Amino acid sequence: DTGVSQNPRHKITKRGQNVTFRCDPISEHNRLYWYRQTLGQGPEFLTYFQNEAQLEKSRLLSDRFSAERPKGSFSTLEIQRTEQGDSAMYLCASSTIGRAQETQYFGPGTRLLVL
């Protein structure tokens, strides 16, 4: 069990550029979540996948954001035409499906700075 990994750990980009982040969940976990955390705040839910299906998206996820999990393993989160307000920590978490609510295990996050 190597834990949830995210790449890159840091990304600096200029406004208007596109960025893509990758998340590799714990191998046997079939649920994968994306959250966004701004400075001094708690994480906010963006979207989640069960296997390869994207089952819910937050209103926070504007049309510039897209997420995929093509084979039910790793996931990517792309932000098009970045804005300064997109600067945040993007967190990925994974879990299994069970009768009781399963624990979500978080990756270290990708810190995005839009200049």
Q: Which is nearer to other proteins, 13 or 44 (CB)?
A: 44
What is the nearest approach in angstroms of other proteins to the Cβ of residue 14? 25
Amino acid identity at 10: H
Q: Does 25 bind other proteins (CB under 8 A)?
A: no
Nearest alpha-carbon partner for 64 in 38, 52, 46: 46
- φ and ψ at residue 36, rounded to 5 degrees: -125, 135
Terminal Cα distance for the chain, rounded:
36
Binding region for other proteins (CB under 8 A) out of 21-29, 63-71, 80-88, 96-104: 96-104
Q: Are strands 19-24 and 44-50 parallel, antiparallel or unpaired?
A: unpaired
- Exactly one of 23, 79, 95, 114 binds other proteins (CB under 8 A); which one? 95
Site for other proteins in 34-93 (CB under 8 A): 35, 40-45, 48, 50, 55-56, 91, 93
* CA dihedral (17, 18, 24, 29) positive or negative: positive
Which residues contact other proteins by CB under 8 A? 31, 33, 35, 40-45, 48, 50, 55-56, 91, 93, 95, 100-109
